[in-house]
Amino acid sequence: MKRTRDELAHKEEARIQALTKKSVPKDLTEEEKAEVARVMKKSGVINECGKETVTQDSIQRLRGTTWLNDELVNFYGAMVQQRADERLKAAGGKPGEGGKDLPGGKGRALDIHVFSSFFYSKLTTDGYAKGRIGRWTKKFDIFKKDKIIFPMNIGGMHWTTGCIDFRKKRIEWYNSLPGSAGDIFEELRKYLDLEHRDKRKKSFDFTGWANYRCPDYPQQQNGSDCGVFTALGMEALARDADFNFEQDNIPFFRRLMVLEIGRAKLSKIPTRED
Amino acid sequence: MADAEDQHDHDHEEAKTEDATGPINVKVVTSTGDEVFFKIKRNTKMSKLKGAYAQRVGKDVQTIRFLYDGERLGEDDTPASLEMQDGDTIDVMVEQVGGSRL
């Protein structure tokens, strides 16, 4: 009995260690800071990733506590997509054919699709048919994906993250502020059904599906950083990872985002190592 | 209006062309349902169309985004590179910002 208890205590300690050993860096290196300064001074188009572009006006929004715009959030989504596709290919998979479990129980290279912030806007303002949302998926089948992930702009003033997880059968919504979901889950269920009818000619089977709100999703402590939380939420969701960031890390992440956009590539930091 | 864009508002059906290399008619639509028709060459850059549209509706080109079937249009995209068909629709969206909640 005692031995079991010791074992449990040991396991618990190991678990806590595993959770606490990786932390968000305090700051960028001096070289990286110089790189950030160079990116901030560029004029015109800063960079392109996939179909997304960030211009000089948009990148300035990563300073201080300025609100983020669609260019920044969607560019981040494009980098998340790019990394996911690369990981999947490295694991021997192919985007559109489903994710691949990694050897040695090291998780899974997910097959994801990241929609831009205009997906949810168009869906809710125009509706599926009038907005011609069915054509957004002319090149791939969402029902073969592990997840679809998308930033959502709420009321022209707030960024949140949405996700449809086909493996867990969950419609997920991540909000860095407390607040009611309104009809978000309903809209996304309606989307799934209409998309299924459009592509598979029959209604979507919601058996076993749940609406999900993460009880301990990181919360912003101000009225300005939701765009950063949204970008970081998408990044973690694409790896099936924990949300390893909090308000204190946001000044670091704003600088990191400048660096990443300048390189059109997500950075490897300790909290992102699987 | 620049040489490549021959804007016409109402006769878009009649102007439909069967020529796979000829100019095509595209419809630029806002979420509020406002529509502007353009007849453009297949090698016309979307940046040019966007500029013409912004001027027409009196908007700052920096604050509008053109989407074709959900994908943002790049400056160098053309109807040919996007494999657009005659009569296709381009969605015009406006810049979105966010920081907090009401």
Q: Which amino acid is at A254?
A: R
Chain A's closest residue to B66, CA to CA, is A118
Q: With cut-offs at 50, 70 and 90, classify the pLDDT of residue B2.
A: very low
pTM score, whole prediction: 0.89
pLDDT, mean of residues B69-75: 93
Alpha-carbon distance B23 to nearest alpha carbon in chain A (angstroms): 23
**Which chain B residues are closer than 8 Å to A65 by Cβ?**
99
Residue B80: predicted pLDDT: 95
Helix or strand or coil: residue B90?
strand
Q: Is B16 on the interface with A (CB under 8 A)?
A: no
Token pair 């996007």: residue = B82
The whole-number average pLDDT for the span B62-67 is: 95
- What domains are defined for chain B? 23-94 (3.10.20.90)
Output the CA–CA distances (angstroms, integers) from residue A250 to A122, A216, B30, in the order listed: 29, 17, 35
Q: Look at residue B8 and tell me whether its pLDDT is greater than 70.
A: no
Range A35-42 average pLDDT: 98
CB contact under 8 A, B31 and A121: yes
Chain B residues touching residue A70 (CB < 8 angstroms):
65, 93, 95-97
pLDDT in tens, A66-102: 999 999 999 999 999 999 999 999 999 999 999 999 8
- The more confident residue out of B26 and A4 is B26
For chain B, helix, strand, coil in percent to 5 are 15, 30, 55
- The answer to whether residue B15 scores a pLDDT higher than 70 is no
Residue A171 pLDDT grade (very low, low, confident, very high; cuts 50, 70, 90)? very high
**Would you state the structure tokens that stand for residue A17, as one six-digit string?**
């260690």
Quote ipTM for the complex: 0.90
A202-223 pLDDT, tens digit each: 999 999 999 999 999 999 999 9
Mean pLDDT, residues A104-116 taken together: 93
> Mean pLDDT throughout A28-37?
98
Residue in A14, A78, A62 with CA at minimum distance from that of residue A264: A78
- Residue B13 has a pLDDT of 44
- Look at B73 and A226 and tell me if their CB atoms are within 8 Å: no
Question: Out of A55, A135, A220, whose CB is closest to B62?
Answer: A55
pLDDT band at B100 (very low <50, low <70, confident <90, very high): confident
- Domains, chain A, ordered by start: 68-243 (3.40.395.10)
* Residues above pLDDT 70, as percent of chain B: 78
How far are the Cα atoms of A138, A160, B32 from residue A48, in angstroms, in the given order?
23, 23, 29
Chain A residue closest in CA terms to B31: A126
pLDDT surpasses 50 at A145: yes
**Predicted confidence (pLDDT) at residue A4 exceeds the cutoff of 80:** no
pLDDT tier for residue B1 given thresholds of 50, 70 and 90: very low
